Structure 1
Amino acid sequence: MSEVKLVATTRSEFGKGAARRLRRADQIPAVLYGHGSDPLHVALPGHATMLAVKQANALFSIELDGTTTLAITKDVQRDVVKNTIEHVDLLIVTRGEKVTVDVQVAVVGESYPGTIHVFETQALSLEVEATHIPSEVQVSIEGLTGGSTITAGEITLPEGATLLSDPDLTVIAISVPHASAEDVAADAAAADLAASQSAASAAASETELGS
């Protein structure tokens, strides 16, 4: 995954009022922490940060006072009404360091006709190198029949990744949808109507031929 470069500025004011002023200036309050260092309170460019955190497990390259620091997102606080970002927590990482992340599972292929796939869990916990965090883990369901399942341990992981989730955890199940009683009754009624119409048409044809 490529690094998302952001230029940060140091924050010296704190509290709700200061945070609101930052957001009005299209900046987002954030904190950088980790590796035993004191937390760094910074402001990030609003629009660029908003786009960056949409990427799963984005790797940030934060430039602050001429120094570049690598970090990953640990928490994003949002306004539940406006859906705007209020604060971002960033964990400092280094190249070669192993980190624990949750990675989304993505399905490829199609299961057997007439079946559907159901996610029992949508993410796996992995240990990966900090600068090689996958955005997703793909799993093929091509041709799988009803009753089939895929467990975490059966999924092929990206090179260098270690599975931390339970290997026996069911990730995807393939099932055959059962029609509801209403659907069955509607299908039966439609079939009866079609049969009666066919019989009426046949009778009409015989009458015409006999005339």
Structure 2
Amino acid sequence: MATTLEVQKRETKPHSNITSIRNAGRIPGVIYGYKADNVSVSVDSLTFIKAVRDNGRNSVFSVSIDGAKLNVLLHDYQVDPLKGDIEHIDLLAVNMSEEVEANVSVNLVGESKGVKLGGVLQQVLYEITVTATPDKLPETIDLDITDLDVGDTIAVSDIPKNGDYEVITDVEEVIATVAAPRVADEPETTEAAEPEAIHGADDAE
């Protein structure tokens, strides 16, 4: 069941209205997609952050616009690079029976045997793209790396098949690898020079 998210329609003019919305502790946004025609809205900042934190980035939220109820996903958002505040959100209205694309975080589980031998785990891919109906979208995908040895890699193709969603990221993309442990450089050795006194003695003969 979708979690209810309270939104308010907003005027798009004048531009200064955006500033006043943010100053009031709300986030401006837009709803578009299935049965929605680019509706400008705003949502309480603290309520929105709590809803996403409690339910997940890929959760379905129920909103009401002009008496009509819509199911929406958080499709995109913009963050102030200095303050870290969410400046704008895009809410995608969805048909619950049609598949959509979404990015899902990859969570590495376990300690690889390569790391136990001194190797260094390097994760290079943190998100993959999947398709699923909105109610089947996973929040994260756990990937067991216990058997990953030094020099081994784990790729998108190693993600177990799941009937709820389909992974559409290139199967050859590497998710993580265990690099060999770094060997400290041995200090260079140089032959000790003979004392000058020895040369001097030879010259005197």
Which amino acid in structure 1 is aligned with residue 24 of structure 2?
Answer: A
Greater helix percent: which structure? 1
Q: CA deviation at 1:57?
A: 2.0
Q: Corresponding residue for 2:196? A: none
Cα 1:35/1:63, change in 2 over 3 Å:
closer
Q: CA deviation at 1:16?
A: 3.7
TM-score, with length taken from structure 1? 0.78
Structure 1 CA distance for aligned equivalents of residues 181 and 112 of structure 2: 13
User: Greater shift after overlay, 52-61 or 142-151?
Assistant: 52-61
**Structure 2: segments with no counterpart, 5+ residues:** 188-205
Q: Corresponding residue for 2:203? A: none
Q: Corresponding residue for 1:167? A: 171
Q: CA deviation at 1:164?
A: 0.8
Structure 2 CA distance for aligned equivalents of residues 157 and 29 of structure 1: 38
Question: Superposition RMSD on alpha carbons, in Å?
Answer: 2.0
Q: CA deviation at 1:50?
A: 2.3
Q: CA deviation at 1:4?
A: 3.4
Q: CA deviation at 1:160?
A: 2.1
Structure 1 CA distance for aligned equivalents of residues 162 and 43 of structure 2: 31
Contact 1:137 1:157 in 2 (8 A): no
- Please say if 1:126 is aligned against 2:130: yes
Report 1:53-132 matches (<5 A): 53-54=52-53, 55-112=56-113, 113=116, 114-132=118-136
- State the percentage of identical aligned residues: 26
Which amino acid in structure 1 is aligned with residue 141 of structure 2?
Answer: V
Q: Corresponding residue for 1:136? A: 140
Q: CA deviation at 1:13?
A: 4.2
Which amino acid in structure 2 is aligned with residue 21 of structure 1?
Answer: S
- Please say if 1:51 is aligned against 2:84: no
User: Greater shift after overlay, 42-51 or 134-143?
Assistant: 42-51
Q: CA deviation at 1:65?
A: 3.7
Structure 2 CA distance for aligned equivalents of residues 160 and 153 of structure 1: 17
Q: Corresponding residue for 1:35? A: 34
